[in-house]
Amino acid sequence: MRPTEPTARPAEPDRDCPRCPRLVDFRETWRAKKPDWENAPVPSFGPASARLLIVGLAPGLQGANRTGRPFTGDYAGDLLYATLKEFGFARGTYDARPDDGLELIDARITNAVRCVPPENKPTGPEITTCRPFLVATMAEMPNLAAIVALGRIAHDTLMGTLGWKKSAHPFGHGAVHPGPGGGATVFDSYHCSRYNTNTGVLTPEMFRAVFAKVQAHLVDAPPKL
Q: Of the ranges 7-11, 71-75, 82-86, 111-115, which one carries the lowest mean pLDDT score?
A: 7-11
- In the chain, the percentage of residues whose pLDDT exceeds 90 is 91
Average pLDDT score, the chain: 94
Fold classified for 21-219 = Uracil-DNA Glycosylase, subunit E (3.40.470)
Each residue of 157-183: pLDDT tens digit?
999 999 999 999 999 999 999 998 878
Whether 1 shows a pLDDT value over 80: the answer reads: no
Domain ranges in the chain? 21-219
Report the distance separating Cα 37 and Cα 173, nearest Å. 33
Q: What is the mean predicted confidence (pLDDT) over 77-93? A: 97
According to the model, what pLDDT value does residue 58 have?
97
* 123-169: pLDDT as tens digits: 999 999 999 999 999 999 999 999 999 999 999 999 999 999 999 99
The CA R_g of the chain, rounded to the nearest whole Å, is: 16
